[in-house]
Amino acid sequence: AVERTLSIIKPDAVAKNVIGEIESRFEKAGLRIVAMKMVQLSQEKAEGFYAEHKERPFFKDLVGFMTSGPVVVQVLEGENAIKANRDLMGATNPKEAEAGTIRADFAESIDANAVHGSDSPESAEREVSYFFSAEEICAR
């Protein structure tokens, strides 16, 4: 089925100047970018986004990292987009990510891991609407 998923290019990848290279991987895989913006997340916005991790020991560092510089937030659309995006990203920990994945190629650590992608249809729906209103998503 055609799905939509939320993707974030994290501050480490933006700082490395590889936004285009990462977008290119999505496009080459047949995913369409149907919404996108560059934003500096506030602490409150980052905490709300990662609310499910609130009790985890890495929460504070995660929020600190995600607010350390601008991010690119986008909605990717395509056949099985949620899994397709996660396959392109590779494992959360870049040391475990398969060769040729975004994290294997651009990420340094489990914190600075270049990209985020929704992990289920439920989180995709929540995450897309956390960042984008209906009018900001363009049918293509």
> Is position 58 annotated in a ligand binding site?
yes
Size of the site for ligand CMP (CB under 6 A): 8
In angstroms, the first-to-last Cα distance of the chain is 16
Minimum Å distance from CB 52 to ligand CMP?
9
- 91 makes contact with ligand CMP (CB under 6 A): no
Structure token digits, residue 96: 């475990």
Contact 78, 31 (CB under 8 A): yes
| One residue of 9, 46, 62, 63 binding ligand CMP per CB under 6 A | 62
Using CB atoms, what's the residue nearest to ligand CMP? 116
Place of tokens 């398969």: 98
Identify which of residues 22 and 62 has a Cβ nearer to ligand CMP in the complex: 62
116 is catalytic: yes
What is the three-class DSSP state of 65? Answer: helix
| One residue of 113, 114, 127, 128 binding ligand CMP per CB under 6 A | 113
Place of tokens 């914190």: 111
Sheet of 115-117, strand order:
32-39, 71-79, 2-9, 115-117
| Catalytic residue (one of 73, 75, 116, 117) | 116
Structure token digits, residue 9: 């290019």
Q: Which residues bind ligand CMP (CB under 6 A)?
A: 53, 58, 62, 92, 110-111, 113, 116
Residues taking part in catalysis: 116
Annotated binding-site residue numbers for ATP: 10, 58, 86, 92, 103, 113
